[in-house]
Amino acid sequence: MQAAKSRLEDYLATIYRLEEAFGVAKVTDIASELGVSPATVSKVVKRLEERGFVAREKYYYVALTEAGRRVAEAIIRKHRIAEAFLASTLGFNDYESHHYAHLFEHLPGAIIERLYVFLGSPETCPHGNPLPGGPRAKAANELLKLVNVAEGNECTVKRLVGELRELLEFTAKAELRVGSTIVVESRDTSAIKIRLVGGKQVAVPLKVASLIVVECTPRAEA
């Protein structure tokens, strides 16, 4: 019973992350993120819909209801507090902290909230994403997405939106993290080439670049 409940919660958290990153959650993206087939996603989504946690939109999209969002936010909050603990206290890197934080998502909330107080009530996780239910972090639309930054600008990475698998795998391999200073060198139809200050050149796929939020000076709009 607990395993089934945890599985449904994993789906709600994934839908939350996709809505956070793209504004919508597609069945195919849910399947990709969870490593299951679209058919499996459709079956689970039907169960979530019957329980009032999600609603289908134009068949291919899934949206959290108010009830579903409440559940998802509780899970995401636990996850991001756990990430902060794993990274700042235990020394795991950004990718490892995200991976191991999944093990904390279904612990009693009282344990996680003790960790939150122990950490000094952080506003964001190590990836710069806000904790649901906490002080409002600086909104992504107050900054810039890397995909919109013009060539020649120097920027600081502020947020890896949604902590999606493809994004975190790429940034871990590229050694690109919140706080990294980068220079945008060039762009083409598939990628943006950046140089990490004091480091290497990296070609960032446009999809990934759309999920990296930065702060640049001077004016950086393309």
pLDDT on residue 220: 46
Q: Which residue has the higher pLDDT, 87 or 134?
A: 87
- Beta-bridge mates of residue 63: 55
Q: Given this model, what pLDDT does residue 137 score?
A: 46
Q: What pLDDT, on the 0 to 100 scale, is given for residue 112?
A: 96
Q: What is the pLDDT of residue 2?
A: 63
- Does pLDDT of 8 surpass 60? yes
- Any residues with CB less than 8 A from the CB of 44 and at least 6 apart, and which? 7, 8, 11
- The domains of the chain, with CATH numbers, are 2-64 (1.10.10.10), 75-135 (1.10.60.10), 141-217 (2.30.30.90)
* Cα separation values, 121 from 42, 68, 72, 84, Å: 38, 25, 20, 10
- What integer is the mean pLDDT of 47-67? 92
* pLDDT for 86: 97
Secondary structure (3-state) at 194 = strand
Q: Residue 144: which region, alpha, beta or left (left: phi > 0; alpha: psi -120 to 50)? A: beta
**pLDDT surpasses 80 at 107:** yes
Average per-residue pLDDT in the chain?
91
Phi-psi region of 141 (alpha: psi -120 to 50; beta: other; left: phi over 0): alpha
Give the pLDDT of residue 143.
75
Is 59 a residue whose pLDDT tops 50? Answer: yes
**How confident is the model at residue 54, as a pLDDT?**
97
Where on the phi/psi map is residue 151: left (φ > 0), alpha (ψ -120 to 50), or beta?
A: beta
Model pLDDT for residues 10-55, shown as the tens digit of each residue: 999 999 999 999 999 999 999 999 999 999 999 999 999 999 999 9
What's the confidence (pLDDT) of residue 135? 61
Contact 64, 58 (CB under 8 A): no
Report residue 213 as tokens.
Answer: 């939020």
Does the pLDDT value for residue 193 go beyond 80? yes
Condensed to tens digits (0 to 9), the pLDDT of residues 134-150 reads 765 445 445 799 999 99
Name the pTM for this structure.
Answer: 0.90
Decide the pairing of beta strands 25-26 and 54-57: unpaired
What is the C-alpha to C-alpha distance for residues 45 and 144, in angstroms, rounded to an integer?
33
* Local structure of residue 177 (DSSP, 8 states): -
